[in-house]
Amino acid sequence: MKLRLLASTPAVETLIATAMLTTTSGASPSSLFHRLSANPTKVAETVGRIEVQHGSILEHNRLDWLLEAREGEVLKILLANRFFSVTRLGSDSWLLSANLRTILEYQVEGDEFSGLLMSSIENLIPSAYAFGRRKA
Amino acid sequence: MIVELLAQTSSRELLAALPASEIPEKDFLGHLSFTFAVEGISRACSHQLVRHRVASFSQQSQRYIQVKRLNEHVVTPPIITEKAAYDFASFIDVASNVYSKMVEGGVPKEDARFVLPNATETSLLMTMDGRSLMHFFGLRLCNRAQWEVREMAEEMLRQVRLAEPELFGEIGPYCVQLGKCPEGRFSCGKAAEMKARYS
């Protein structure tokens, strides 16, 4: 099995912080997003407080991968979590996408695919990566 | 009302990274996402948004955020301004006073909010995949949609057309997307007019 990240929503952690503060502060989401975009320290601090119970804040993004896997392996992934989207590109080649909540929730499987997912976001979404590792 | 497309997964970026392959447009759209900030809409409007289940929402919480000066933070339908402005304003004043009195008297915000009207303003972050967004436009740009959510959909469409002209350039309500109105006997009968407007 091979997994390669192809594309992602930009500024995923800024969007997570924006979602967190939108729900609990009186500030508007657009002004929060623009203020946070200029303040990576505040973003890291806010995202560092993620609680898994409030998973919806992790859904404002989408990541796309090229997955090379056999049909049975893809079926196993889809049976474990219905929030992955898959399009067949070739016999063992798939376009796969999901949001960060799905990635983190998949970690309970503890299989090869969960490890590949986490590795693919290590540099892109470092705070969420650290959170996912703690939960695992 | 303020609507801003904050972020998206770019179709160009994804297509450039994909190995050459044929993907039906409907399937491809499901792999893209669009995140909007929506501000100053009524709770009546946000109730309609959450009917769109394949979407994610982070909305200002009335459990945590106290509504202050309610009469400055309500959405008033134009027809009410025209026909019932005084009654509407009187009701908002009463609701505002009762709410504030309850909060000051120790009623938790999560319970005091039971007297707040659907007109109360709210803000939220909303994310939809491309396919759900097409469906949203199909329904909410329709002449039969409620004016506030239609106004919001118009602004969303304007912004996604700038960001993804190839995907959304020809998109409109379902009569435009399908080439015929699916509303049956409720049809407004203006399919040709809508096609000219959105094409």
CB contact under 8 A, B28 and A89: no
What's the gap in Å between the CA of A35 and the closest CA on chain B? 13
> Beta strands of chain A (E only): which ranges?
2-8, 63-68, 85-90, 93-98
User: For residue A63, what are the contacts with CB-CB under 8 A and spacing of at least 6?
Assistant: A5, A7, A8, A9, A97, A98, A99, A100, A103, A120, A121, A124, B9
What's the gap in Å between the CA of B193 and the closest CA on chain A? 34
What's the one-letter identity of residue B52? Answer: H
In A, which residues are within 8 Å of B32 by CB distance?
62
pLDDT number for residue A51: 67
Reported as a single tens digit per residue, the pLDDT across A58-107 is 999 999 999 999 999 999 999 999 999 999 999 999 999 999 999 999 99
Reported as a single tens digit per residue, the pLDDT across B54-106 is 899 999 999 999 999 999 999 999 999 999 999 999 999 999 999 999 999 99
Please give the C-alpha separations between residue B108 and each of A67, B68, B105, in angstroms, as whole numbers. 49, 15, 9
Instruction: Quote ipTM for the complex.
Output: 0.93
Q: Specify the pTM.
A: 0.94
CB contact under 8 A, A22 and B123: yes
CB contact under 8 A, A15 and B7: yes
What's the one-letter identity of residue B176? Answer: V
A8, A24, A59, A60, best to mutate vs chain B, most B CBs in 10 Å: A60
The question of whether B131 is a catalytic residue gets the answer no
Rounded-to-integer distance, Cα B123 and Cα B60, Å: 6
